[in-house]
A and B are shown apart, each in its own frame.
Chain A
Amino acid sequence: MAVATKAPDSALPDPILIVFNRFGLGARPGDRDRLAGDPRGCLKAELRQPDIAMIAYDDPAYADLLGSTPAIQASMAAGFQRKLDRSLTTAAHTTKAAATAMTGAAPMPSAAVKAKVPAGAPPAAAAKPATPPVEATLYRAEAQARFDKALRVEVGFVERLVYFWSNHFCVSVAKDNIVRASAGAFEREAIRPFVLGRFADMLMAVERHPAMLFYLDNQQSIGPDSRAGKNRQRGLNENLAREILELHTLGVGSGYTQADVTSFARILTGWTMAGREGRLGEPGSSVFNANAHEPGDEVLLGKTYSAGGMGQAEAALNDIAIHPATAHHVATQLARHFIADDPPAAAVARLVKVFVKSDGNLRALAAALVDMPEAWSTPLAKMRSPLDYITAIRRAAGPGPTNDPGPSLNWLNALGEPLWQPPGPNGFPDQADGWASAQGMKVRLDIAWQAARQVKDIGNPNDILDAVIGSSASPQTREAVARAESKQQGLALLLMAPEFQRR
């Protein structure tokens, strides 16, 4: 290769690339020029904006969104209707069969069936196939709002924090229809309001949210010695208790025991969601069911939590939220996400200190990340996650905001990061290995090509390169884009360039 001017690897990474790749969601044309003057300042500015993380119900752009309670109610009603339809269909078949058997003749076309359906009932079977299930409609509306927001924000640091915490406290829509209907609302209600608030508050909001109670089975967990436990043959389920300790707070190997898990599971009994009949409260809302709560004191991590209904778990969660192991776990994960797969120990230590000193203030932690010298000196060696990648593509080259979340959802599926559908409660991977796989890179190439071909008026790919990657583009990247055989190919090359893949 004749162009021997290899970029000096020892040089500090371009601060604007740090802003948009490491901390943000990718530069839109014009963003680099606008924010070039003060890279740290523009990140801090996002942290100061009140409500920057919120997607508001009253915004007319998001008229299709529902709170989790009405969303779950809609899902419960639809589920009930589906069940009814199924039994009607079965009944209809049975009636037909019976009629045939009795008369020995061909069944009268639907007359016998119609008689069984109450007058005025909608023709269920005929109308149904055209309308998608309400859960799918809600999921798509939520996805739409989330993609929209990602395209509109200036830098996207706070959105990245939202995605980080949403993955930390993940739920999966594959669990069941209730979670599919409420996963978006869960993020808007339990994650977004707290990303610049206190960790303890987010923890509390998450663990009592119906989507989480459903996802990790706590709505079914019943204290064996509770009134409900004695009446029914159901009992404890330790799933939520274990994952709170292992994934949400203390972290695995931090010293808790199986006895702690079981005891915490007993403490959490009664944290549930009100059912369709509304016996415990407004259907679909989070409630405490004293009848299912295991009575008695419990010892967790060496401390006794006296019997006290819902307050017992609240007290335990408040203690766990500020436990030193939690501070270390959260600090490590943040540093891993924003700095490097193997985060520098000094950076983690500083974040731990901020966590402890600020009582788990997440705005202070985010600001500390921005102030960290390692954040500006560590090479951009992580891979953009699929969500990051497709967002960066759309911000750089389009498509801009649309009314159809389908294409982006399909891209995420193909890349192995389907929205709100992680393979397990530990969420999607956060290390380069997880995303730089052979199959993953092949799909990225397909997507880059698809995106490039969809752009209506590309303009000059060299100009887009300047606008999106700027002066830190390597000579080889610059040359590859300049020599492309078509504008589409030039844009696709830019979207595949290491400077566009790495963060």
Chain B
Amino acid sequence: MSLLCVPPHPSRRAVLTTGGALFAWAYLPRFARAADNRDPRLIVIVLRGALDGLSAVGPVDDPDYAGLHGDIALSLAGPHAALPLDGFFAVNPAMPVFARLFKANQAAVVHAAATGYRERSHFDGQDVLESGFAGPGHVATGWLNRALENLPAGDRVATLGGLAVGPSTPLVIRGAAPVLGWAPQSLPAPTGDLAARVLDLYQHRDPVLAVALQKGLDADRMALDDQMNGNVMKPRGGLDSAAGMRQAAQGAARLIAADDGPRVAALAFDGWDTHVNEGGATGRLATLLGGLDGAFEEFEKGLGERWKDTAIVAITEFGRTARINGTVGTDHGTGTVVLLAGGAIRGGRVIADWPGLKPAQLYQQRDLAPTSDVRAVLKGLLADQFGLSATALGDKVFPDSAAVKPMPDLVA
């Protein structure tokens, strides 16, 4: 399999190009091959603040890595040894679940990836990542919602809508397709009669608020039914804490595992902007990665039988500088990782056209150069899981991106 990463090699890029061309004719999206009893789900986790891909999945065998990433570089030696993936890359030791899934061929990494955005503003970067547009300035709808919208009329996945986890709806899933909102409950609930009266008032005076409140009540009811089955959830922390991430995943898993639950979900985890004392195998970033790893575990547990058809993708607006800054952290950069997990993923692979870390190989001599487009990964997942056509993906879901081909074969 030519997309598997091997240590950098002069002709590697050429090999890959050939590989891509070969796939062009041999490739059929997973969806087209699927037996009818498949029931695919897609979970998108947005890591806001720019994840340092080189500390999440370190190119430990790259001769320039340790020098650039300094004290926070991952290493295969020492008390907090990184967990080897394929001889060249190793995952942060805070992510044992991901490493286990990788070994079981249920997790994969796309490295040196970036969206089409090349500036370094978080907020524009997140808008591009989540809106799916080629540039910033589009904040009304997100690509995941438009993917639902562009499914054939009456499609079950489209009818079931999406799930947004957290106190506010992440941009990636905002839009015209129906979206359920849910966050861990923390206040005593009023009577249903008051809710009905307020809804009635909104239906006459403020339809927008009527829709929002109705969705909030629906989500709450589903989660509440679950609590009656003995699964009581108390708020444990914000979505920038490891406990909060785990809890959000736990609740989301229950909602999307249901037969009539949403088939796509979006979560946003905060706190990845590690300018100072980022830490490597231990420390601040490792704690957050542990939270993300916990979220993977909760999804695996909570989805039960559904796990085998599920794909989870964790994406971030851009990477961080390859060289650590003056305060043992990293500043805003470019290339980073996309993490894939789930029973549906054709895992056990680090997919990378590794650009190298020599000064001239770095983007603007400072960042990991991007060689894969995050949109290609997302398109590949949408095509494989839900059968969206390359045309719909290139025009509607990710406007003006026809040149970015869906990455084939991500789903087993």
Contacts and interface: CB of A to CB of B under 8 A. Distances in A.
Interface of A: 1, 174, 217, 220-222, 224, 229, 234-239, 242, 246, 252-253, 258, 261, 410, 413-416, 418, 423-424, 426, 429, 433-443, 445-450, 474, 476-477, 480, 484-485, 489, 492-493, 496-498, 501-502
Given A237-B275, A446-B189, 10 more contacts: A224-B326, A229-B326, A234-B327, A424-B48, A436-B209, A445-B195, A445-B213, A448-B190, A474-B205, A480-B197
Interface in B209-241: 209, 212-220, 238, 240
A235 B321 CA distance: 14
Contacts of A485: 193
16 contacts: A174-B240, A253-B119, A414-B186, A414-B187, A424-B123, A437-B216, A439-B169, A441-B212, A445-B195, A445-B216, A449-B194, A476-B201, A477-B205, A484-B197, A485-B193, A492-B190
Contacts of A237: 275-276, 325-327, 329, 331
B281 to A, nearest CB: 20
A426 B122 contact: yes
A437 B181 contact: yes
A252 B120 CA distance: 10
A281 to B, nearest CB: 21
A443 B187 CA distance: 8
Contact of A246 (B121, B166, B167, B186): B121
Contacts of A489: 193-194, 197
Interface of B: 48-49, 119-124, 136, 139, 164, 166-169, 174, 179-183, 186-191, 193-195, 197-198, 200-202, 204-206, 208-209, 212-220, 238, 240, 270, 273, 275-276, 325-329, 331-332, 364
Contacts, number: 187
Contacts of A433: 139, 169, 174
B190 A437 contact: no
Contact of B326 (A235, A253, A438, A497): A235
Contacts of B326: 220-222, 224, 229, 234-237
B126 to A, nearest CB: 9
The 4 closest A-B pairs by CB, nearest first: A235-B326, A442-B216, A438-B181, A416-B167
A496 B325 contact: no
A258 B217 CA distance: 46
B205 A439 contact: no
A496 B216 CA distance: 14
A446 B215 CA distance: 15
Contact of A440 (B167, B240, B332): B167
| A interface, over-half SS | helix
Contacts of B166: 416, 439
Contacts of A414: 167, 186-187
B184 to A, nearest CB: 10
Contact of A424 (B273, B275, B276): B273
A241 B187 CA distance: 40
B209 A438 contact: no
Nearest to A428: B168
Given A242-B332, A439-B183, A442-B220, A424 B270 contact: yes
A477 B164 CA distance: 30
A220 B327 CA distance: 6
Contacts of A449: 188-191, 194
B327 A450 contact: no
A104 B214 CA distance: 68
A437 B208 CA distance: 10
B168 A498 contact: no
Given A237-B326, A258-B364, A441-B216, A493 B197 contact: yes
B327 A217 contact: yes
A471 to B, nearest CB: 16
A253 B121 CA distance: 9
Contacts of A438: 164, 169, 179-182, 212-216, 218-219
Contact of B168 (A239, A429, A501, A502): A429
Contacts of A443: 167, 187, 216
A440 B212 contact: yes
Contact of A442 (B119, B206, B213): B213
Nearest to B127: A252
A415 B216 CA distance: 13
Among B49, B168, B209, B213, residue most surrounded by chain A Cβ atoms (within 10 Å):
B168
A440 B212 CA distance: 8
Among A229, A237, A441, A450, residue most surrounded by chain B Cβ atoms (within 10 Å):
A441
Contacts of A476: 201, 204-205
A445 B167 contact: no
A376 B18 CA distance: 64
Nearest to B120: A258
A450 B201 contact: no
Contact of A480 (B183, B186, B200, B238): B200
Given A221-B327, A222-B326, A437-B181, A498 B209 contact: yes
A446 B325 contact: no
Contacts of A437: 164, 167-169, 181, 212, 216
Contacts of A261: 120
A208 B220 CA distance: 45
Contacts of B208: 436
A438 B217 CA distance: 8
Among B167, B195, B332, residue most surrounded by chain A Cβ atoms (within 10 Å):
B167
Contacts of A252: 119, 121, 123-124, 136
Contacts of B167: 414-416, 437, 439-440, 443
A440 B169 CA distance: 9
Contacts of A222: 326
B187 A450 contact: yes
Contacts of A424: 48-49, 122-123, 270, 273
B235 to A, nearest CB: 9
A477 B206 CA distance: 11
Contacts of A418: 238
Contacts of A445: 190, 194-195, 198, 213, 216-217
B195 A480 contact: no
A480 B49 CA distance: 44
A414 to B, nearest CB: 5
B240 to A, nearest CB: 7
A242 B327 CA distance: 16
A162 to B, nearest CB: 23
